[in-house]
Amino acid sequence: MEFDNTQPIYRQIIDNYKKQLIRGELRPGDKIPSQREYAEKARVNPNTVQRAYREMEVMQMVETQRGQGTFITANPEMLTIMKEEMATGVIGHFIKEMKSLGFTISEINHLLAQQIDKTEEGELA
């Protein structure tokens, strides 16, 4: 794992797990790495990992069992909500960036459509 400094590391850890959940790479019941293990691999402080894990527990994404480890608990409804929330974030950020480059809404729509066309062609080729 690599981290930006655009956001706190603990947020990025959480977002990363959210993405894995949304993509189905992690499912309810799965065990995620222990705090220490994660901290070592990602080379961050165990406290930072713990903060991420604790927040995920509060939002009922995971359940920790002392002495056992941490397990995914997110249910389908929660996944839907998470997916929507993350999309809202990504889209909001996109609109903000495009506006800061001086594009109007209609230009944004136009350029997006154009680029999607190109991308799709590229994928079909």
Residues 83-102 binding a second copy (CB under 8 A) are 83, 86-88, 90-92, 94-95, 97-98, 100-102
CB 54 within 8 A of CB 71: no
Residue 25's binding partner among DNA, a second copy, none (Cβ under 5 to 8 angstroms by kind) is none
Q: What is the DSSP string of 40-82?
A: HHHT--HHHHHHHHHHHHHTTSEEEETTTEEEE---HHHHHHH
Residues 8-67 binding a second copy (CB under 8 A) are 19, 22-24, 58
Cβ partners under 8 Å of residue 77, min gap 6: none
Residue 83's binding partner among DNA, a second copy, none (Cβ under 5 to 8 angstroms by kind) is a second copy
Min separation Cβ 40 and DNA, Å: 9
